[in-house]
Chain A
Amino acid sequence: MCDSCGCDLTDSHNHNHSHDTNSRVIEVHQSLLAANDAIAAENKAHFEAIGVVAINMISSPGSGKTTLLEKTIERLKGKIRIGVIEGDIETDRDAQRIRAKGVPVIQLTTGGACHLDAAQIHKGLHLLEKEPGGDKLDLLFIENVGNLVCPATFDLGEHQRVVLVSVPEGPDKPSKYPKAFISSQIFVITKTDLLPYFDFPVEEAKADALHLNPRLEVMALSATSGQGFEAWIDYLKKITSNKDSAIQMEG
């Protein structure tokens, strides 16, 4: 018989307590993400110390994150100093595309892991600072591994989180992958030039996303045709503008 509860069960695996009197219950009450979150907080402090606004971009593979970044860099050249940390499981193809646009970029390959974590960003940031121009940035894009699920759980220390869904993926992504939409500030619907060819009710997708997160700001754009692109550019100018004036004052 168990001395603790008086039951007849001898299999400790059916119990909330052990039958061994040497055992002890330790109260922990700490997040499993505590180690990641501590590094994320250091990353954020570092971003602020060097005066950079960091954006974490989360989407499925093929939603057009890299194309959006290419067009954004072209559009903001000479106005906002942009750097990019690319996350992928394998290859540096995305980094090559961004490097061709003439901005500092670092490719992180996770070697199988489905998301970036704060420690990888810490490392990536130091590598980026060694690239020409990488130590003088206004805006840092972190292009997460293409995956609408896992990256949503890991804080990287970013100031803003942007979730993207492309028209060919369909309008039901917010409902199916709620965490990415609940944890983001901006929802960008991409490839709107393809709307005539796909059944993608934009208003329905917006409503579904707002249903999950009423604070979400929604944009719909095509990086290829330029449709709706100004709202995105205005948003980037807005989040970097306070810092710009601060830098000018210092200069």
Chain B
Amino acid sequence: MHEMSLVQALLAQLASLAAEHNKKRVITVTLDIGPLSGVVIDSFQFGFDILSAEDSLTKGAKLIIINPPATYQCIRCAYKQAALVRPDHCPKCNETLLIPEGGDTIILNQVEME
């Protein structure tokens, strides 16, 4: 349940953004969570619901999570494909060994505050 640690990191970042921009309330938070990030989105949402309610800055804030695809490059023909779920093989040459690229990030993209 390391999602709780990540939610704590998010809330710390929101608090410093609010101080920097002189805002009192967070309305929406938009995050990219990649399919290879090791984060269970439901657990992250659960952690956010619990911890965000403890602070007036984030109480009632809405979390929007976008799940961008990872890129898989074929080890044989170097063909790249984007996918949310790991493909079984390369569609060009049928090779099964594909190197994942990206898709492992957890990015805070936008915050709407007032």
Q: Give me the interface of A with B, judged by CB distance under 8 Å.
A: 12-13, 16-18, 20, 22-36, 113-115, 117, 149-150, 152-154, 178-179, 182-183, 210-215
Contact = CB atoms under 8 A, between A and B. Distances in A.
B27 A18 contact: yes
Given A28-B110, A214-B75, A18 B96 contact: no
Interface of B: 1-2, 5-6, 9-10, 12-13, 17, 21, 23, 27-28, 31, 36-39, 60, 62, 64, 75, 86, 96-100, 104-114
A150 B31 CA distance: 19
Nearest to B3: A150
Nearest to B38: A179
Contact of B13 (A30, A114, A210): A30
Given A26-B17, A154-B2, A214-B98, A31 B107 contact: yes
11 contacts: A16-B28, A16-B64, A23-B27, A24-B23, A27-B109, A28-B110, A32-B6, A32-B9, A114-B2, A211-B97, A215-B99
B106 A33 contact: yes
A178 B86 CA distance: 10
A31 to B, nearest CB: 6
Where chain B touches its partner, the secondary structure class is: mixed
Contacts of A182: 36, 100, 104
Contacts of B10: 32
Nearest to A23: B114
The 10 closest A-B pairs by CB, nearest first: A150-B2, A179-B38, A23-B114, A214-B97, A32-B106, A153-B38, A18-B27, A22-B114, A28-B108, A25-B112
B44 to A, nearest CB: 10
A28 B6 CA distance: 16
Nearest to A215: B99
A152 B27 CA distance: 31
A89 to B, nearest CB: 12
B25 to A, nearest CB: 8
Contacts of A32: 6, 9-10, 13, 31, 106-108
Contacts of A117: 5
B100 to A, nearest CB: 6
A149 B2 contact: yes
Contacts of A27: 109-110
